[in-house]
Structure 1
């Protein structure tokens, strides 16, 4: 035996043990994440298919958008007892979506939260969540809660984040083992003519190495996204609280006291040339301040479109009080989120993400099968050795 072969063999055994146990510990969690992640990738398309919407008015492309104040007035007239919690301004379509709820306490309950969609150029109603199937809002919320933390809130999210890191460790160790395993085989070889276990081992290795880059991206971004809640809370307790300190203790504005939303929008756009406002949180939102409109602006390039800059406008006076630069850790999360769900290049990329998700399910399932059959093989070998030893002892005793 070559003197260097024994240390090399021990090193490979350690990598194999690391790959086996890191994979086993995260497999069940990842099964759930892959199964729930598949419909989440196509959540927008599912909503478009199930919620009837009127067609956009046929107008020239350069038709200006109407005032946001007219949009909010129409929403309040439709639901005078509800408050507006937020607005989404679609950057890719002439649509403005107004989110409403009976109170802030019920604003995250899918049974009470609802929205109205308006044509951004005419103000005509395009559709509303009330026309969607009754099960859809609860289904989407439950699916997301299951995908991100098994309905366990922050503790579940942190556990899922740890499972994502274990998945990354399993991928890296699998790549290390792939070279020695394929030393005497051509790439893509699946030995189907021999045992079933050997065929699944080859298939497991082939699918794993073929999807390694995607799996690493999804695993790392998934682990990073699980930190959204605690890191966002940290940012609110530091930067945001410093900005809104002068309003602490003052009475928040009532809906009747709130100033022009359109004026707030124009003031933010004037202060940030080239930026696009895509979302607005109303005073009282957990994402901002009880005294301010929070307008979320982004750039219009491929990279800056994922980097948000919140601007705080006093809801009473209409003054622009601050444009808060989000810290690097929240910017990392914002950039990583579309990579995780594949929602930055339209439906074709989502289909690719869905197919890779299904392949990952096969990799996970085959890995679990290989571990179970390996244990059974070891048990069978041990039983055979014990039986042979017992037969030898009987033979010796009879002699």
Structure 2
């Protein structure tokens, strides 16, 4: 491909996506430290109790959540023993098939079933997450940001090609100080090439993450439909069976994994006849990969369990990698510093384009005069 073609590709893919990428970098910076910010902001935690204090029955916890919000139904229960030990987070809504954006959270002590908090303040972190995820535009906004991420990856590839050409007469890392625009051009090129691997990883994982509604729909149509096939013609349940019994069955079926999420019958992650329990592994990598266990909601008998298909695993791996959530706080700090570098790269690109446009406009005025 000719050099002029690479210049054209880099120029226009960069111009189209840069402002959106700046917004994603700025909103992504606090999201890297979501857990740390939650702790500093005073999120309720389970009180200290003697080690070995027995857990309450999940059915009792469900009853406590319903008592706190009597007009709602329970859809999901979550556990994160690493960040919030001895705490159960219950997601509720007005009905079981309510839209995903309708939810009410209740956090309870897993040992006493006492309500600890109802953390439903859609504050700063919620705003950052929604802007970063879909700009408050739902699925169209999410897919649009995915397109911007794809353009960003193309801009990175074309930028690498151009860097090799324009720096062939200069030593690597040279930042000329002849004038402001030249200095910023060299700095833009240097920071971009030094962080090219990280920028590519974040760009590609960001694109993958925008596809999560599509991936979920594929999983529902493919694996989940196959797993619940024998129940397709069964009449709907009048009431659910024991949530605790379903969890016990899942624990026996996959004893080397930990329970992280319970989806109630009728939700998008389950069928009308099943509890779906999602299990996770015990290593930094396997803790991001979930395994569904389907349990008959009435009899608490195991229906099926199997590994997720490759496309779901790809999504699960890309989500925490996008935010540097694999190596604890040290990796998050590195991710944040690289994010700041990316902001400088993007901002300098905008500055260089504005300077170039201003010079051309000034030149055209001189020619006319």
Q: In structure 2, what is the Cα distance between the partners aligned to 1:108 and 1:124?
A: 26
Partner of 2:162: 177
Cα offsets for 1:176-225 (capped at 9, x unmatched): 22233333434333223x21111111111122122212111100000011
Of 107, 123, 126, 1:117 maps to 107
Cα offsets for 1:21-78 (capped at 9, x unmatched): 2211211221222222223223333333334425532422x55533322322322333
- CA shift in 2, pair 1:116/1:153, >3 Å: closer
Q: In structure 2, what is the Cα distance between the partners aligned to 1:54 and 1:91?
A: 11
Partner of 1:154: 139
Look up the SS of the partner of 1:318 in the other structure: coil
1:102 aligns with 2:84: no
Of 32, 57, 71, 2:61 maps to 71
Q: In structure 1, what is the Cα distance between the partners aligned to 2:118 and 2:73?
A: 16
Partner of 1:209: 193
Of 4, 8, 14, 1:23 maps to 14
1:225 aligns with 2:209: yes
Q: In structure 2, what is the Cα distance between the partners aligned to 1:91 and 1:244?
A: 30
1:335 aligns with 2:317: yes
Contact 1:56/1:126 (8 A) holds in 2? no
Look up the SS of the partner of 1:129 in the other structure: coil
Partner of 2:40: 49
Q: CA deviation at 1:342?
A: 1.7
Of 175, 186, 190, 2:175 maps to 190
Partner of 2:253: 271
Cα offsets for 1:208-264 (capped at 9, x unmatched): 12221211110000001111111211221222123323433544335xx32222221
Q: In structure 1, what is the Cα distance between the partners aligned to 2:360 and 2:99?
A: 56
Contact 1:313/1:321 (8 A) holds in 2? yes
TM-score by length of 2: 0.89
Q: Which runs of 5+ in 1 are unaligned?
A: 1-9, 388-399
Q: In structure 2, what is the Cα distance between the partners aligned to 1:271 and 1:105?
A: 28
Contact 1:81/1:102 (8 A) holds in 2? yes
Q: In structure 2, what is the Cα distance between the partners aligned to 1:127 and 1:51?
A: 11
1:317 aligns with 2:302: no
Q: Give matches, 1:382-393, under 5 Å.
A: none
The total of aligned residue pairs comes to 367
Look up the SS of the partner of 2:307 in the other structure: coil
Of 370, 374, 378, 2:352 maps to 370
Contact 2:280/2:289 (8 A) holds in 1? yes
Look up the SS of the partner of 1:253 in the other structure: coil
RMSD: 2.5
Cα offsets for 1:76-127 (capped at 9, x unmatched): 33333321111112131232212222323556445xx322223334444433
Q: CA deviation at 1:384?
A: 5.5
